[in-house]
Amino acid sequence: MSKVIFVAGGVMSGIGKGVATASIGRILKSKGFKVTAIKIDPYINVDAGTMNPIEHGEVFVTEDGLECDQDVGNYERFLDENIYDSNYMTTGRVYQTVINKERNLEYKGRCVEVVPHIPEEVINRIKKAGKNKDFVLVEIGGTVGEYQNMLFLEAARMMKMRYPKDILFILVGFLPILKNIGEMKTKPTQYAVRTLNSAGLHPDILLARATTILDDVRKKKLSIFCNISSKDIISAPDIESIYEVPINFEKDNLGNRILKKLNLKPKKNDLKDWKKMVKKNKTASKEVKIAIVGKYFETGKFSLKDSYISVIEAIKHASYYYNLKPVIEWISAESYEKNPKLLKELKKYQGIIVPGGFGTRGIEGKIKVIKFCRENKIPFLGLCLGMQLSIIEFARNVCKIKEAYSTEFLKKCIPIIDILPEQKELIKKRHYGNTMRLGSYNCVINTKSKAFKCYKKQNISERHRHRYEFNNEYKNILERKGMVFSGINPEKNLAEIIEIKNHPFFIAVQFHPEFKSRPLKPHPLFKGFIQAIR
């Protein structure tokens, strides 16, 4: 059996459990082990496809078409490996499997109960994910003490009892520093450890998240009150770049502590490329100003960036590759609808991205921004919805098809963007889940295009998440006026990449290249975009 490391969070959510898990993965990989990671989301939702991005953050998509939590994106970026559907668990998924098994008489007439059958299913899934791997990291979403993730902790407890030498438990605790007192407080984390104890578990290692480094005084205190050796209490202060986290953990010798506890020895020590990348990120000083035009970041008085996390990371990977420091600004699409005069301000950006999205809110504002980029020759990258709107803009303003639109927004329009006939049948039956193009699809690139200059190859595959497609009936009209359809899905003859002639960089794609960008392998399209800006 592979070794299993559970990572859970204490005190509160949003303290970076995902990045911590991914970083532990990177460290173990650098020591010569085969690593994979599992995300557990304690929701009833079967996948993240039905969750609102403002509430839940970005929906990440895997090669095999699973819509999941953004942390899976972090695992892929840090591990530089694909993570598949089998590595994602929600409460809904686990219950669904158990209920299906019960219906199929797989429990052979026994009484099927929450305990042990639900945790057993969790254990089955962890074991399956660990096949041919040395390590499986299992991130348990939520915070210890919540009712929601109890059954997952129960699975961890059962596993630890069965395989004591193969299981490790890591708790990520938060240590607040109160402004008026000016001291880092350990008590909430002490309580989190106690809560975990009451579930029959004890952390082997404690990651102490705080705004600053954990000093020896507090390390000792935590050690005494939490019953954890101070060598196993790892300082995890806020740092500028998430990619520095593995390096930081290694300062406290985290990798070797883990290996020692599991009776293993490092096979090598190779964080060289990673360190080089982090150093390059830190030394880039020349700024590039890039705007993302979206709508999923305003919630009350707060502005969240999580909805576009993969796009942001992809911009960073490509910018740092060229020794540039990206300055990313959020602009709300709706503001251009209310006040078109604002458009002039877009000139201060060196590049503009219109990312993916659903629904009518903000659409006209995005179309205005795209027109401005096209006419003012501002480097532009359109992603998914960004491609659909680029085509609508071109059809309306260049080809003079004024009513051009997508049937997603208006049923009675000239349907430049539409659903395929076979999807219409499914939608009638309300089978929405089956009407999305999800996961990896092939694309053949025209060798004379700008896209080819970026990819430097003809056959590629990219990840999708959308329901609507470009309507090929309008292809000739658009081509005549200068739109280039430079990437086509060969199986279904679907438009995948478009570009515009006589523009320094105007590329829009039906897929989501951001999901495949990695810090050590920036994505070719983002590289092309940044290079054009340069």
Residue whose CB is less far from ligand GLN, 274 or 296 = 296
Choose which of 467, 475, 481, 518 interacts with ligand GLN (CB under 6 A).
467
Distance (Å, whole) CA 518 – CA 80: 7
Decide if residue 295 touches ligand GLN (CB under 6 A). no
**Whose Cβ is closer to ligand GLN: residue 129's or residue 293's?**
293
Does position 95 interact with ligand GLN (CB under 6 A)? The reply is no
First to last CA, the chain: 50
**Cβ neighbourhood burial of 402 (10 Å; 0-12, 13-18, 19+):** exposed
Measured CA to CA in angstroms, residue 375 lies from 33, 324, 355 at distances of 52, 26, 19
Supply the minimum distance, in Å, between the C-beta of residue 49 and ligand GLN: 11
Quote the DSSP letter at residue 467: S
Residue among 221, 466, 503, 523 that touches ligand GLN (CB under 6 A): 466
User: Closest residue to ligand GLN, Cβ-based?
Assistant: 356
- Minimum distance of ligand GLN from residue 304's CB (angstroms): 18
Does the protein bind ligand GLN through residue 134 (CB under 6 A)?
no
Is residue 65 involved in binding ligand GLN (CB under 6 A)? no
CA–CA gap between residue 532 and residue 534 (Å, rounded): 5
Identify any residues that bridge with 438 across adjacent strands, giving them in sequence order.
465
> Does the footprint of ligand GLN cover residue 470 (CB under 6 A)?
no
3-state secondary structure 362-373: CHHHHHHHHHHH
Peptide bond into 490 cis (omega under 30): no
CA-nearest of 81, 79, 61 to 69 is: 61
CB of 148 to ligand GLN, least distance (A): 28
Nearer to ligand GLN, 408 or 462 (CB): 408
Tokens of 63: 């090669």
Stretch that binds ligand GLN, among 158-166, 219-227, 249-257, 461-469 (CB under 6 A): 461-469
CB of 425 to ligand GLN, least distance (A): 17
CB atoms within 10 A of CB 504: 12
The length of the chain in residues reads 534
Q: Which of 346, 385, 498, 509 binds ligand GLN (CB under 6 A)?
A: 385
Q: Does residue 522 belong to the site contacting ligand GLN (CB under 6 A)?
A: no
From residue 343 to residue 372, what is the string marking binding to ligand GLN with x (rule CB under 6 A)? -------------xxx--------------
- Taking CB under 6 A as the rule, does residue 515 contact ligand GLN? no
- Residue 516 engages ligand GLN in binding (rule: CB under 6 A): no
Piece of 156-164, 208-216, 466-474, 525-533 that binds ligand GLN (CB under 6 A): 466-474
26 binds ligand GLN (CB under 6 A): no
Closest approach of Cβ 390 to ligand GLN, in Å? 12
Residues with catalytic function = 384, 512, 514
**Non-local CB neighbours of 34 within 8 Å, separated by 6+ positions:** 132, 133, 134, 135
CB 334, CB 362: distance < 8 Å = yes
Tokens of 248: 């930081």
Residues 310-349, mask of contacts with ligand GLN (x by CB under 6 A): ----------------------------------------
Closest distance to ligand GLN from the beta carbon of 505 (Å): 20
Q: Which is nearer to ligand GLN, 141 or 386 (CB)?
A: 386
463 binds ligand GLN (CB under 6 A): no
203 in Cβ contact with 173 (< 8 Å):
no
> Where does this chain touch ligand GLN (CB under 6 A) — which range of 266-274, 277-285, 335-343, 460-468?
460-468
Q: How far is the CB of 268 from ligand GLN (least distance, A)?
A: 40
Closest CA to 59 of 236, 426, 310: 310
Q: Please identify, using beta-carbon distances, which residue of 163 and 358 lies nearer to ligand GLN.
A: 358
Of 520, 530, 524, nearest to 509 by C-alpha is 524
Residue 384 sits in the site that holds ligand GLN (CB under 6 A): yes
Burial class (CB in 10 A: 0-12, 13-18, 19+), 240: exposed
Give the interface size with ligand GLN as a residue count (CB under 6 A). Answer: 10
Considering beta carbons, is residue 278 or 291 the nearer one to ligand GLN? 291
Binding positions for ligand GLN, 393-432, rule CB under 6 A: 408
* Cβ atoms within 10 Å, residue 122: 26
Of residues 328, 330, 11, 322, the one with CA closest to residue 142: 11
Piece of 124-132, 184-192, 393-401, 465-473 that binds ligand GLN (CB under 6 A): 465-473
308: contact with ligand GLN by CB under 6 A: no
Handedness of CA 247, 251, 254, 256 (dihedral sign): positive
CA atoms of 252 and 233, how far apart (whole Å): 8
φ/ψ of 144, rounded to 5, equals -65, 140
Pick 19 or 389: Cβ nearer ligand GLN: 389
Residue 294 touching ligand GLN (CB under 6 A)? no
d(CA 283, CA 224): 40
Q: Please report how close the Cβ of residue 8 comes to ligand GLN at its closest, in angstroms.
A: 32
Give the strand pairing for 351-354 and 380-383: parallel
Q: Coil, helix or strand for 409?
A: coil
> Does the footprint of ligand GLN cover residue 176 (CB under 6 A)?
no
Told to check if 481 binds ligand GLN by CB under 6 A, we report no
Name which position in 371, 465, 516, 523 contacts ligand GLN (CB under 6 A): 465
3-state SS assignment for residue 443: strand
Contacts of 52 (CB under 8 A, 6+ apart): none
Binding residues for ligand GLN, per CB under 6 A? Answer: 356-358, 384-385, 408, 465-468
